[in-house]
Amino acid sequence: MTMGGGKTKIFRAIDFFCGAGGMTFGLTLAGIKVVAGIDIDEECKDTYETNNLESKFIHSDIKELTIKQLKKLDIERNDGSMIFAGCSPCQYWTQIHTEKERSLETKHLLEDFQKFVSFFMPGFIVVENVRGILINKDESKLTEFLHFLQKNNYGVHYDIIDAMHYGVPQKRKRFLLVASRVDKEIKLPKADKGNGLTVKDFIGVDNGFASIGAGHVDKSDFLHMTAGLSEKNIKRLKLTPHDGGTRLAWKDDLELQIHAYKDKDSTYKDTYGRMFWDKPAPTITTKFHSISNGRFAHPDEDRGISLREGATLQTFPKTYVFKGSGIGSMARQIGNAVPPELARRIGVTIRSQVTDKVESRKVKGDYVHV
């Protein structure tokens, strides 16, 4: 990036709530140096460090993280080329979560993130979260955060976006915010609403995924492994039509019908359903490995999708290594992640918009100091 003195400035970033490293990896692909990732979940450490060798993992609760700790990373205040990404866990504000008491600790993480933004005043800020943070913007502290940004002369652009329009083969609606005090006209990445990405473009035998069964164990780094299923659930899947079938196929079977869903055909209708080959996948959640938690059954095979299939639908490369204490731990890391391709497009947009501004002003004999 051109500076007033003719030097080149490299964009750097701190990935707060980094998890398995989806945002870090995507920004790195965009040519941005991610200095560190911070997360409270120590199980993410091995995954993050294995795949993001140039970034430091800091195991810390953001409520306990100090300014002094971040200063040790050689971060300057008012650095126009610094990006703070704050994509916090979203359990409290997600619309599908009902156990609010257990997720209270995630309620005001945006406020905790603001403390660090306020001190360091980075050139750019990225926030990705569930839609509920905007729907409940006063209670989630989003209103307060937006006022803070505007008061401090940040240009702000935010909206509800669907990741399926940003190179991700799944319906994943999220709140996305990009702010900058360097470029007051900063914009979100441009949506590509005609890409037509589907499940069959990413998984299946033709994409390198062997046909396997429920409970398949894969001890290699490829992790094409699946959760086990009870005999009754296997019977249910055998009766579920391929390519998008639902539990309605066996609703009249007294043995197989689920009591809670009796006479409630429209209640959680995707549960136990199969994915469609020719449509985007549903949102890959932290429990995507379980067919009882959504439309997570394989389009054809009598099983849930594997860890690697879920990661691929999240746009992690097949070489990305996940480590954890078990299938549930790794599924949680994958489902919580910002899809790397979405993150890459955010990074590319920030770099290209600001570079274009610099080049435009150079033509006029002016320079932008960032």
| Rounded-to-integer distance, Cα 313 and Cα 199, Å | 7
User: Tell me, what's the pLDDT at 313?
Assistant: 98
CATH number of the domain enclosing 168? 3.40.50.150
Helix/strand/coil for 112: helix
Cα 170 to Cα 61, 185, 197, 282, 299, distances in angstroms: 30, 29, 8, 5, 14
User: Tell me, what's the pLDDT at 131?
Assistant: 86
Within 10 Å of residue 95's Cβ, how many Cβ atoms? 11
Lowest mean pLDDT among 45-49, 89-93, 280-284, 290-294: 89-93
Q: What is the mean pLDDT of residues 311-328?
A: 97
* Pair of tokens at residue 51: 């795949």
Which has the higher per-residue pLDDT, 360 or 253? Answer: 253
Nearest to residue 354, comparing CAs of 80, 111, 94? 80
Bridge-based pairing of strands 33-39 and 56-59 is parallel
Q: What is the mean pLDDT of residues 344-360?
A: 81
Within 10 Å of residue 173's Cβ, how many Cβ atoms? 14
Q: What confidence tier does 2 reach under pLDDT thresholds 50, 70, 90?
A: very low
Lowest mean pLDDT among 26-40, 238-252, 276-290, 356-370: 356-370
Domain assignment present for residue 274? The answer is no
Determine the structural domain holding residue 56 and report its residue range: 12-191+339-363
Residue 30 has pLDDT above 90, yes or no: yes
Is this prediction's pTM over 0.85?
yes
Q: What is the mean pLDDT of residues 341-354?
A: 95
Q: What is the mean pLDDT of residues 303-324?
A: 98
| Residues noted as catalytic | 90
Give the largest CA-CA distance in the chain.
79
Residue 361 has pLDDT above 90, yes or no: no
Compute the mean pLDDT over every residue in the chain, rounded to the nearest whole number.
89
**Residues of the chain with pLDDT > 70: what percent?**
88
Lowest mean pLDDT among 116-125, 140-149, 158-167: 140-149
| Rounded-to-integer distance, Cα 313 and Cα 40, Å | 25
Domain assignment present for residue 259? The answer is no
Q: What is the mean pLDDT of residues 196-204?
A: 96
Domain assignment present for residue 63? The answer is yes
Q: Are 232 and 255 in contact (CB under 8 A)?
A: yes
Residues contacting residue 100 through CB under 8 Å, at least 6 positions apart: 92
Domain assignment present for residue 278? The answer is no
Domain assignment present for residue 131? The answer is yes
Lowest mean pLDDT among 4-8, 95-99, 185-189: 4-8
How many residues are present in the chain?
Answer: 370
Domain assignment present for residue 322? The answer is no
Count of domains for the chain: 1
| Rounded-to-integer distance, Cα 292 and Cα 300, Å | 17
Domain assignment present for residue 334? The answer is no
Rounded to 10 deg, the angle between the 340-363 and 22-29 helix axes is: 40
Q: Are 146 and 156 in contact (CB under 8 A)?
A: yes
Sign, CA dihedral 98-99-101-106, equals negative
* Pair of tokens at residue 205: 């035998």
Within the chain, strands assigned E span 12-16, 33-39, 56-59, 82-86, 124-129, 155-162, 173-180
User: Tell me, what's the pLDDT at 6?
Assistant: 42
Domain assignment present for residue 307? The answer is no
